[in-house]
Structure 1
Amino acid sequence: MKFNYTIQKAFSISLLVFIFSCEKKNSISDEVTFIDRIPNAQTNEFYVSNRAPLAPSALIKLPVGAVKPEGFLKEYLLRQKDGLTGNLGEISAWLQKEDNAWLSPDGEGKWGWEEVPYWLKGYANIGYILEDPKIIKEAMIWIEGTLKSQREDGNFGPKHFDGDNQDFWANMIMLYCLQSYYEYSEDPRVLELMTNYFKYELSVPDENFLEGYWQKLRGGDNLRSVFWLYNRTGDKFLLELAEKIHRNTANWEGRDLPLDQIRNYYEVRDGGEVPDWYRDQVDWHNVNHAQAFREPAQYYLLSKNESDLEASYENFKIIREHFGQVPGGMFGSDENARPGYADPRQGVETCGMVEQMNSDEHLLRITGDPFWADHAEEVAFNTYPAAVMPDFKALHYITSPNMALLDAENHAPGISNSGPFLLMNPFSSRCCQHNHSQGWPYFIENMWMATPDNGVVAALYGENTVQVKVGDGTEVKIEESSHYPFEEEINFELSMEKEVKFPLYLRIPAWAKGAAVSINGELAKDKIDGIGFVKIERTWKSQDKITLQLPMEISTKRWEKNSNSLSIMRGPLTYSLKIREKYLKKDSDETAIWDSKWQEGADTKKWPSWEIRPVTDWNYSLVIDENDPASSLEVMHGKWPKSDFPFTLEEVPIKIVAKAKQIPKWQLDQYGLVGELKDLPTTSDQPIVDVTLIPMGAARLRITAFPYLENNQ
């Protein structure tokens, strides 16, 4: 009896342990679900959300400074601080304080258009994020000047006109700067200035409002600021102004437009006719499109008309259908997208890249659609890094997926700009020189967002720390450690003063197959496919840890509409042929374009320009089994660079070895550009050799869209 009782007791204990372990396992997995979109039926209690009658916020921006970058993201900001962004105030003529209209109480002055606010958008935010007192002090000179510039009628800033009408464009950018400053300081003067200014805008007759080129196309930026203020003050007149701005902004929803309504210069290759599809966009300037295509979606917040929202998606698709059949997330527009010029040697302005990233971040907050986060990362990690020198002391105007020479020559009409626009130059061109500063600070600010249910979402990935109020208002610190986008694993550790229940969301990119989430070392959910979010709802405590695995499989992409060219991807990174680079220093006084201007006394010798010339052959196509690309490619993992900066040939931590054949006929053409793919043979009798591919963002010279070969296996 005693023996049987002992066995029975042991069995019971074992059964209880088994049941407990099952319950524990089930409870963890029950805390984790996969959803397409984050619900927005509630309103976040701690961060400013859309106020009725605006559509409810899908995601909510955290104040500037809530996210602190680490790793290469922090290194980027430090290089910007020591590079052009941090020094433009001492070298750019447009940023000189003497006779500057932005610092003038009456708005008069020689220097006073878009350059100051373009630069200040990034410069000031770098200061707020890094908590850099020197930068903040310098930024405050311009912020204070702007706040003191408001005139009796409510207008502020430079007296700048487009013909006979007020030019509202530069003020639209400065409103971004003021809003960031308010997030940082809560200075009530910002709300007062914006309220009075928007009353002034409402008083301007429609026939004189947003009349001109840039401002009419970019009215969506004005609309964004009106909604920002409305969400903080609730002033009803702002909704009337929003309607006015929308009806006076260029028609970004228009299709089959008359040619005289397409507002930009256009040209058709070889004197051909304008194709019918060219009438489906109101403007084809690369920056205008990257910046303004989102205006209908912004207006949707007020109209709640699904066709407005869909119009921005259509705008995105239209330009990529005809000019964006290329890797890296952008499109071949050079200055203006021209029918017949869509080869991957066509490029986009650096301005266009950072404005596209900004638009993606806006649309992510408006829609909650993780597509826009995927795209922001695609541009940020692949196209943008190679547009600037590694030290951030020079950049070029045009960056292309296929470019094998960056020199000081004129490459028009191969690209639509006449001048040395491929050269790495600190002074050319003045828009990108100042506007590039916003790219990384804005990306960092949007890495985490508050959710309507008092939770938080990891929207964009990279190493950082965030402080955010969640649940019952408890402030939680989340440390995100990872070498993403180069590595598959992302780790999160939470810290807080007391336990708190709230939902934490992790974005699952479209490219990730078989993603997995572990909590405190225990697998909670795996085999996750499809774009969306993992939702983890539980009571969290300090030192809780999450691991997100995003398997990075090699994939290929055929650009059928661009000569059937081929690109190689692994996770969020696209790969380019590694071309050894030779840097040649040039005198910026001699190579800058006509509208480049620097302050009197600026030492241009400290700010040279750079040509980058190829040392190794670049005219290869890949030999690959597209049914099983991984079998043709060998991934080589290296050490993470001590510099924490992986975007150079020497320090990139991952490479791919591939088989390739040279195409001897593929050379630079008469314009000094990579020859167009359509002119190449589809066979090669050259021997198969090994070549190295590196992440596109580390390759300032690169071939990323490889020519089609019939015998590519």
Structure 2
Amino acid sequence: MLKKCIAGGLMVAAAVSASAQKIQATAVTTTINNLNNKYYTGNRAPLLKNYFTRLPVTAFRPGGWLLRQLELQREGLTGHLGEISIWLSKSDNAWLNKEGKGKWGWEELPYWLKGYGDIAYVLNDKKMIAETKFWIDKVLENQRPDGDFGPDVVKNGSRDLWTNMPMLWCLQSYYSYSGDQRVIDFMTKYFRFEAALPDDKFLEDYWEKSRGGDNLLSVYWLYNITGDTFLLDLATKIDRNTADWRQENNLPNWHNVNIAQCFREPATYYLQSAKESDRQASYRNFALVKEKFGQVPGGMWGGDENSRTGYSDPRQAIETCGMVEQMTSDQYMLQFTGDTRWADHCEDVAFNSFPAAFMPDYKSLRYLTAPNMVQSDQANHAPGIDNNGPFLMMNPFSSRCCQHNHAAGWVYYAESAWMATPDNGLAVQLYTEGNLKAKAGGGTPIEIITKTHYPFDNTIQFQVICGEQVDFPLYLRIPDWCAHPVVKVNGRTLSVTGDDKGYLKLKGSWKNGDKVTLQLPMAVRLQEWKANKNSVSVNYGPLSFSLKIDENYKQRDSKETAIGDSRWQESADATKWPSWEIFPGNAWNYGLYLDKYDALRSVSVVKKEWPKDNNPFRNDAAPIVMTVKGKLIPGWKIDQYGLCDTLPQSPVVSKEPVTELTLVPMGGARLRIAAFPVAE
């Protein structure tokens, strides 16, 4: 469960220029959502106002390691999936047919396009933008007279609308990029089609019924632009027909991606209902799954395909799709609630789970990744995991949903790095290097340049670029793990007003060249997971750490090692796009040997050079490592299913000698032990 802490002793620095410029600093829990930002589209009455408003898709241009992840995606699977996936073929594709007929056409195309297109816009890649526009134009041109669009899939006598939901998100991003009025007309016509469907023919199938919240978000997006009141009635209809995500101690289903994607549906409808019970239902959903299956490091939980009672050990895995959807849900929950805990959680998943699901070059990925995973191969590990087939294989030809949907993970993260505030200010939510261009204060265009190696370093530097002096509030999120942040504005210091934990609000008049330096001191933390055999994980700031395991890669044929429902184009070259098995090259079955009186004394932090290729999510390039003492636990082995066996109960008596272990950031470890037994 997410925890909220109050930390005292906040210190802030501010500057006073020669012209009586003064920056006031206040610690606040969040913004006050009693206004709408003047320059960016927020919620229109009667919807509750958001605490934060999204900026246009290209407002923030990432740099540093995040830019490198997007470039690697472009150079890797995301950028070339059109050469591989049969679902992206332009032959016999239902997305290219006005009647929605074709052999290929369901969720895969929009899953891929919502990430691919946004990466194209953010990188300003002309070739990718042209490819994106090809698909967007065809969707807009192929709307049917009744307003429906997309693959004409009928299940159990009802039109399956799930596949259209991610395509609506593609259209919304395209509108943010282009301002193309066709999108507004198209979506208005489509939502009138949805409004006309009878309830007994609306959101009836499993996927669409679970995921109605995605449809709901698109309805509110359009309402905030047009104000068409029929959209509010449609929103109520969607909420009424979506699966019940308001149950006290249960969920409508336990599919891992559905949970990550759909737990927020009641909080979304809360914007219209204004019922605190709706808001709390989403918190309760999240707390329930974390309590039952998520007592592990990395932010996610043991889902495999479906979370199962009795399967909550850290060797249980989560889909790559689940990580993407959870990060996205965290970003929306932050907007709806103003609660910084969602940004903290988004970082946890993004830094510690998501990058490990890919090969370092992003040219292949695996369906499932676990906090404790010591073998990644083509074997069938069921029933140890809830999937039959090679679901741990790094394969670019495999995993249909994740193969396409992973594209949105990092780019959505970049788009949520900054948000607008109701008082015409700006809030930095997810610290990363890059350039922001936005309007603030009285409408003055400003630029804020961010330099940082966060989360691998604790210092973030900002520089304000503006043509004239401008008065606006700047909100700096303070992570929950950070007790004593320090902010310097042009090098001068003063005490902060208030002791709330959430944001440092810097309010005053900013001039061209002003510099802000935020320091978020990081410390080693040991987290005990009592529900998982008293195991422990090791943290430093927002990073969780894993045992460094030598990773031995074995190249395989992607076509021969693909999951059974995978499909690829005849021209797809498996030699150009190989799959990989990964085996451990050294012992992994260690418990931590900790000082009985001061466990933190057992851990040392070692800083290293920043990687020259700007990709820190690799064991051999990790800019931070840790050393800790441990003991081998001989009885903890690979089990009959080919998985890391379940954790032994801590403390574990071991007669093996004490040895020094190296820990690396969990997000760069493709093989990992991140939940450790404690050895005696």
TM-score, structure 1 normalization: 0.92
Cα deviation for residue 28 of structure 1 reads 8.2
Alignment correspondent of 2:514: 544
Alpha-carbon distance in 1 for matches of 2:16, 2:200: 69
Alpha-carbon distance in 2 for matches of 1:627, 1:204: 66
The SS at the match of 1:605 is coil
Residue number among 224, 228, 234 corresponding to 2:221 in the alignment: 228
**1:308-707 maps to which residues of 2 (within 5 A)?**
308-525=278-495, 531-625=501-595, 628-678=598-648, 682-707=652-677
Cα deviation for residue 37 of structure 1 reads 1.1
Contact 1:515 1:527 in 2 (8 A): no
For 2:486, give the aligned amino acid.
Answer: A
Residue number among 120, 128, 143 corresponding to 1:135 in the alignment: 128
More relative contact order in 1 or in 2 (CA 8 Å, sep 6+)?
2
Cα deviation for residue 679 of structure 1 reads 6.7
Alignment correspondent of 1:203: 196
Moved more, 598-607 or 27-36: 27-36
Residue number among 157, 164, 188 corresponding to 1:171 in the alignment: 164
Q: 1:596 to 1:145 in 2, by over 3 A?
A: same
Cα deviation for residue 526 of structure 1 reads 6.7
Contact 2:526 2:600 in 1 (8 A): no
Cα deviation for residue 529 of structure 1 reads 7.0
Alignment correspondent of 1:102: 95
Which deviations, in whole Å up to 9, do the C-alpha atoms of 1:66-120 show, x marking residues without a partner?
1101011000010000101000111100000011111112211111100000000
Alignment correspondent of 2:41: 48
- Is 1:151 aligned to 2:121, yes or no? no
Alpha-carbon distance in 2 for matches of 1:459, 1:421: 34
Residue number among 118, 122, 132 corresponding to 2:115 in the alignment: 122
Contact 1:489 1:548 in 2 (8 A): yes
Alignment correspondent of 1:70: 63
- Is 1:246 aligned to 2:276, yes or no? no
For 1:396, give the aligned amino acid.
Answer: R
Alignment correspondent of 1:271: none
Alpha-carbon distance in 2 for matches of 1:315, 1:119: 28
The SS at the match of 2:506 is strand
Q: Which runs of 5+ in 2 are unaligned?
A: 1-13
Alpha-carbon distance in 2 for matches of 1:102, 1:147: 10
Contact 1:515 1:528 in 2 (8 A): no
The SS at the match of 2:560 is helix
Which deviations, in whole Å up to 9, do the C-alpha atoms of 1:341-374 show, x marking residues without a partner?
0000001000000000000011111111111100
Alpha-carbon distance in 1 for matches of 2:618, 2:343: 24
Alignment correspondent of 1:181: 174
Alpha-carbon distance in 2 for matches of 1:140, 1:116: 13
Which deviations, in whole Å up to 9, do the C-alpha atoms of 1:399-424 show, x marking residues without a partner?
00001111110000000001111111
Q: 1:480 to 1:64 in 2, by over 3 A?
A: same
Contact 1:514 1:527 in 2 (8 A): no
Higher helix share: 1
Q: 1:168 to 1:525 in 2, by over 3 A?
A: farther
Contact 1:518 1:525 in 2 (8 A): no
Alignment correspondent of 2:24: 31
For 1:618, give the aligned amino acid.
Answer: W
Which deviations, in whole Å up to 9, do the C-alpha atoms of 1:575-633 show, x marking residues without a partner?
00000111100011211121111112111111111001111110001112376443211
Runs of 4+ in 1 over 3 A off after TM superposition: 21-25, 27-30, 524-531, 625-630, 678-681
Alpha-carbon distance in 2 for matches of 1:297, 1:532: 20
Alpha-carbon distance in 2 for matches of 1:66, 1:421: 37
Which deviations, in whole Å up to 9, do the C-alpha atoms of 1:422-476 show, x marking residues without a partner?
1111122100000000000000000000001000000111111110100010011
Cα deviation for residue 497 of structure 1 reads 0.7
Q: 1:620 to 1:361 in 2, by over 3 A?
A: same
The SS at the match of 1:641 is coil
Contact 1:511 1:572 in 2 (8 A): yes
Q: Which runs of 5+ in 1 are unaligned?
A: 1-20, 256-276
Cα deviation for residue 157 of structure 1 reads 1.2
Alpha-carbon distance in 2 for matches of 1:48, 1:337: 38
Cα deviation for residue 524 of structure 1 reads 3.7
Cα deviation for residue 708 of structure 1 reads 3.4
Moved more, 99-108 or 307-316: 99-108
Q: 1:340 to 1:425 in 2, by over 3 A?
A: same
Contact 2:21 2:509 in 1 (8 A): no
For 1:151, give the aligned amino acid.
Answer: R
Contact 2:25 2:505 in 1 (8 A): yes
Q: 1:23 to 1:539 in 2, by over 3 A?
A: closer
Rg larger in structure: 1
Contact 1:580 1:616 in 2 (8 A): yes
Contact 1:327 1:574 in 2 (8 A): yes
Cα deviation for residue 47 of structure 1 reads 0.2
Contact 2:22 2:509 in 1 (8 A): no
Alpha-carbon distance in 2 for matches of 1:306, 1:345: 36
Contact 1:554 1:629 in 2 (8 A): no
For 2:51, give the aligned amino acid.
Answer: A
Alpha-carbon distance in 2 for matches of 1:461, 1:626: 36
TM-score, structure 2 normalization: 0.96
Contact 1:29 1:524 in 2 (8 A): no
Which deviations, in whole Å up to 9, do the C-alpha atoms of 1:469-518 show, x marking residues without a partner?
00010011001110000101000001011110000000001000111111
The SS at the match of 1:363 is helix
Root-mean-square deviation (CA, aligned residues, Å) is 1.7
Contact 1:517 1:525 in 2 (8 A): no
**1:260-279 maps to which residues of 2 (within 5 A)?**
none
Contact 1:477 1:494 in 2 (8 A): yes
